[in-house]
């Protein structure tokens, strides 16, 4: 499994959601704006203002920050982060159907395993033990 496969399975259309399209448009405005501001500051610096050199480096840094922010906006799942994610976590399990509870548990486990490969290996080990117990109970 590659690093991006869990994202692909979670939301195959993540590039074309309303949130992603808004992020694409913002990035298409932000990066050229930062490039223009950097070019303007280079002109000021060449005109004799030494502080312009600092600003001419700062604007490309802002552009990189915008790209990183865009990446996270496109790839994060709004159902699991921010206030919506907290509300989903705080919902009483008694208010959920069995399918919702199972889906929530699987989503939380998948997210935790993506962050920690040792946890994924441990969960696989526990699944093997559970399967062995089920097989032993049948006999």
- E strand or H helix that includes residue 131: helix 117-138
What are the sequence ranges of the domains in the chain? 13-76, 77-139
DSSP 9: H
Q: Give the burial class of 131: count Cβ atoms within 10 A of its Cβ; 0-12 exposed, 13-18 middle, 19 or more buried.
A: exposed
pLDDT in tens, 30-79: 999 999 999 999 999 999 999 999 999 999 999 999 999 999 888 877 76
pLDDT-based confidence at residue 7 (cuts at 50, 70, 90): very low
What is this structure's pTM?
A: 0.53
pLDDT tens digits for range 94-110: 666 778 777 877 777 77
Using alpha carbons, select from 73, 45, 74, 72 the residue that is nearest to residue 59.
Answer: 45
Q: DSSP assignment, residue 76? A: S
Burial class (CB in 10 A: 0-12, 13-18, 19+), 53: middle
Are the beta carbons of 119 and 112 closer than 8 angstroms?
Answer: yes
């Amino acid at each position: 499994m590659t690093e991006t496969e869990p994202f692909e399975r979670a939301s195959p259309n993540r590039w074309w959601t309303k949130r992603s399209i808004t992020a694409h448009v913002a990035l298409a405005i932000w990066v050229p704006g930062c490039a223009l501001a950097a070019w303007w500051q280079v002109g000021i610096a060449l005109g004799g203002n030494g502080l312009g050199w600092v600003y001419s480096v700062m604007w490309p840094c802002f552009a990189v920050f915008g790209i990183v922010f865009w990446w996270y906006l496109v790839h994060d799942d709004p159902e699991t982060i921010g206030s919506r994610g907290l509300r989903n976590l705080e919902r009483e399990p008694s208010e959920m159907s069995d399918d919702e509870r199972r889906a929530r548990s699987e989503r939380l486990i998948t997210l935790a395993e993506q962050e920690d490969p040792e946890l994924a290996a441990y969960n696989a080990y526990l699944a093997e033990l559970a399967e062995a117990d089920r097989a032993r109970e049948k006999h």
